[in-house]
Structure 1
Amino acid sequence: MTRGSTLPSHRPHPPRPLDAFNAACATEARTLLLRCLHSPLWSHRVAAHRPYPDLDALLAAADEAAYDLSPTDLAEALSHESLPGLPQDTYSAAHVALDAAHAAYEAKFGHVFVISLGGVPAAETADYVLEAIQSRSANDPDREREIVADELRRLARGRLGTCLRGARPNPCAAPPRGATSPNAPTPGR
């Protein structure tokens, strides 16, 4: 070796989050999955098909399992969701309007309004959620059930992707009350 050269480091790399998920016991894997979408059927199906070669394969399997959820499974998942949160600096009138729109929505459909906020800038969150909840309140129950199922699938996909990319400290924690997106802000209500 020449002077000033260094030997390569042989320190072991920490396991990738996907590798850890693949290696986890079934109970641990299902627990993680239930934090992404509270459906025992969905979590069982996704966990049962491990190991996944990459995150895209896992997300595709999660999508497929979500498409198979019955109305009862969807109702159980919805019972663990909450209204999307607004940024803490959002004008309080937006909170009042959102609360009123959500109350009307919940009275009609019997469950919380869910929507994926992935890609929505924080400054546009209030208007986006309020417009969506008002628009979707006009749906008949069957149409809204289809939309809700798709939104839950998107939420699960986003949460699972965030969790297994290791993007944040403790990214696998259940979303805070009011957050229905992996990047939804904590509500200031």
Structure 2
Amino acid sequence: MTSSTTSGGLARFNALEEHAAYAALHELCASAAWAHRLLARRPYTATDELFTESDAATAGLTDTDLDEAMAGHPPIGRPKPGDPTSSREQRGMAGASEELRAEMLELNLAYQEKFGHVFLICATGRTGEQMRDAVRERIGNAPAREREIVRTELGKINRIRLARLVEEDAPA
């Protein structure tokens, strides 16, 4: 959603009590700094304004904040049990062959050993093969380069999740 006016969902988000708004944001992104920055700028007059603030907050995360955000994401191919968000986002792995699942597990472990954190990619709309190819490609990156890619991917994920949060028919 890229609206220049306040949607019903955005109005509901703006009206939430602080603790409820924080809980909703923290569920979207595990970085407390990101959630607090978005809370501090409420109320938002447009969805685009919320997205812009999210992008700025993501860009401003310290290494510790980025680690905290990544810790909230399950490995590709292993969505959190009972979490419809990670299951929906990783839908591309749902029909993956056992061979592809085994390869992703191996690649995830090698990636995590090299970089010290989960492989983070905006998985929405990607096939299992596309995610596998991405981890294969990115595992060769220098740590500083990979961190910037992770930040970019986190920004994409946060935008998708925020859009769902402020959809017109989203529950309060």
TM superposition score normalised by structure 2: 0.82
How far the C-alpha of 1:166 sits from its partner, in A, is 4.9
Structure 1: give runs of 5+ residues left out of the alignment: 1-14, 173-189
Residue 49 in structure 1 maps to residue 51 in structure 2: no
Give the SS at the match of 2:93: coil
Counterparts in 2 of 1:1-189, with a 5 A limit?
Answer: 16-85=8-77, 86-120=92-126, 125-166=127-168
SS at match of 2:166: helix
Amino acid at match of 1:49: R
What's the Cα RMSD here? 1.8
Q: CA contact under 8 A between 1:45 and 1:65: conserved in structure 2?
A: yes
| Distance in 2, Cα, partners of 1:153 & 1:87 | 21
CA distance in 2, matches of 1:42, 1:71: 12
Inter-CA distance 166–35: structure 2 relative to 1 (3 Å threshold): farther
**In 2, Cα distance between equivalents of 1:119 and 1:99:** 20
Over 2 Å off, 4+ runs:
84-89, 117-120
Any conservation in 2 of the 1:101–1:134 contact (CA below 8 Å)?
A: yes
**Paired letter, 1:74:** L
Deviations 1:105-164 (CA, angstroms, capped at 9, x unpaired):
0010011101002343xxxx1111000001000001111111111111111111111121
In the alignment, the residues of structure 2 paired with residue 68 and residue 91 of structure 1 have an alpha-carbon distance, to the nearest angstrom, of 39
User: 1:88 Cα deviation (Å)?
Assistant: 2.7
Alignment check: 8 A CA contact 1:26 1:48 kept = no
Q: Quick check: which has more Rg, 1 or 2?
A: 1
Give the % identical residues.
Answer: 34
1:80 CA drift (Å): 1.2
CA contact 2:8–2:169 (8 Å) conserved in 1: no
Q: Structure 2 CA distance, aligned partners of 1:167 and 1:133?
A: 35
TM-score (norm 1): 0.75
Give how far 1:36 is off. 1.1
Q: 1:139 corresponds to which letter in structure 2?
A: N
The alignment of Structure 1 onto Structure 2 pairs a total of residues equal to 152
**Helix, strand or coil at the partner of 1:112:** coil
